[in-house]
Structure 1
Amino acid sequence: MLKWTLLAGAIVAEVSASLSLKAALDVPAWYVVVVVGYAAGFVLLTFVLRQGMALGVAYGIWGATGVAATALLSAVLFGEPLTALMVAGLVLVIVGVLIVELGAQAARARPREPEPRRHEYTR
């Protein structure tokens, strides 16, 4: 449960930093939030990996959720366009990440075969 909480924190930090980039165009003080947000996002993502989540899964969820949340919130906060085609693309990205997660779970559940023994030859 801790790794999912840390991943959620990493996503919130990254989305906050990304949205702050747009706000910083008008008010440069927002660059503080940009730097702190991205730093916190990467630190929290590192903690997620230390908790044992696979890199592909963690980064996929972090990236896909971050892209979707940033697109949705930028439409709400900044009035940026969000078309049906864009929403369909975001759904495809999220579905792709879910498929990767399901594949990772299946791989972890499958018993590993022992590696073949290697023979050392002497001359």
Structure 2
Amino acid sequence: MPWLWLAGAIVSEVIATTSLKLSEGFTRLVPSIVVVVGYVGAFYMLSRALSRGMDLGVAYGVWAAVGIALVAVIGVVLFSESLTWVQIGGIALIIGGVMALEMGGRH
């Protein structure tokens, strides 16, 4: 069950971060509201995952890695941003590091 809370936290954070770009410096009301609600929801759901026994390092690592990857893809798809092969490799290394963190904690 903590993994479902973590997944919700990731989705909420990615929506909030995407809305941050759309808010244009908090000059647009609706995206600005989505930013605040999204981040509050993300931290609430992360706290629920942690209170259900998920290790802090694993939770934050997975949240950060998946969030980085999703936001990078959203930037390319929605905002016509570009990714170099070096940036793609960096994202892969982050994800690999989080996988090592998770697998290294198993007994």
TM range (shorter): over 0.9
Residue 37 (structure 1) shift: 0.5
Aligned identity (percent) is 46
Instruction: Name the amino acid aligned to 2:17.
Output: S
Query: Which is higher, the Rg of structure 1 or of structure 2?
Result: 1
CA distance in 2: counterparts of 1:104 and 1:31, whole angstroms: 38
Query: Match of 2:10?
Result: 11
Alignment of 1:26-65 (within 5 A): 28-29=28-29, 30-65=31-66
How many pairs are equivalent?
A: 105
Deviation at 1:81, TM superposition (A): 1.2
* Residues 82-108 of structure 1: per-residue CA shift (max 9 Å, x gap): 121111110000000000001111xxx
Alpha-carbon distance in 1 for matches of 2:58, 2:104: 10
RMSD: 1.1
| SS of corresponding position for 1:25 | coil
2:69 aligned partner: 68
**Structure 2 segments unaligned to the other structure (5+ residues):** none
Task: Compute the TM-score of the two structures, normalised by the length of structure 2.
Answer: 0.94
| Cα distance in 1, alignment partners of residues 37 and 76 from structure 2 | 23
- Structure 1 residue runs of 4+, over 3 Å off? none
Q: Look up the match of 1:20.
A: 19
- Structure 1 unaligned segments of length 5 or more: list them: 110-123
AA matched with 1:28: R
After superposition, residues 67-86 of structure 1 pair within 5 angstroms as 67-86=68-87
Of Structure 1 and Structure 2, which has the larger fraction of its residues in helix?
Answer: 2
Tell me what 1:116 maps to: none
Which piece of structure 1 moves more, 22-31 or 70-79?
22-31
Higher relative contact order (CA 8 A, sep 6+): 2
Structure 2 match to 1:112: none
